[in-house]
Structure 1
């Protein structure tokens, strides 16, 4: 069975493109069935449309409350019947309704080795702290900020003359490879979440 992916985006869509390229191989085991966004006019939506994929855009400011937006976004995502929802640079936190529907099936990347340096500025914070190794994490989203069970991590060395921008670019390269490899593994082997542990393979 092919794993159905809905990919959520807010920006240029480089992670989305990496997944689309991987899904072109039937042996990968997954297919992107739709792309959702919280803003229009972004490159990621152009990538989706070029690939012939359905897209949907729900802007927070168009709803009376954040909870209303979360409920609507949940419904819009559920219409595409995803097996796995992938945040690929999606810049909105999932709300209670979304997590109630997709908990355990919603994954996100972070540009640091969690639990170190959570939040919006993983690369900047790691560089400021003076670590010699940082990296990226793929995790199963829960109600906290970057606190979910970890699916995969990749290490990236910090150079003495690194800038935030240079470091972040190397992290993003590692992140794309990690995302593609791990989503493919999840598609082919399945995974279960047991407390803090993510185990691949059928239970």
Structure 2
């Protein structure tokens, strides 16, 4: 079983915000593969399906971003899930909007959702797809920036980035993550 965790904040207030790009990508992946993310379990919304012969569980933590690790830990404990089979999808200020960067370990880089996952799993070693949202203009509050909607001018970039993320997730289900990084880190 592979499991994909999209990070975001629950509720309509946060739909379409930069911080919810992980939710948007997981929703697009679910739509692409006919998976319904409706089951409430482990402080998350969960959907199960089969993609290219692999059982896949899609997870959207409902704990708010800063407590995402609670859902991840709950899922690991309940399902006896292996952390090596997890891919976390989330927003990244240090990656240009429209680009994705994949890595299999590293610090949280200031991302509170990743900090929470590291704290609850006890490791920095897990697969990640970082979706670029770029940095705000100097002087702009970062919290205000990540909780704002993408401007229309970035719409095409965001759509393409979501498609690239879905493609990378599909590839990662069939191939080692280092090969996925080689193919999608451009």
TM-score normalised according to structure 1 size: 0.45
Whose RCO is larger (CA < 8 A, sep 6+)? 2
Over alpha carbons, which structure has the higher Rg? Answer: 1
TM-score normalised according to structure 2 size: 0.49
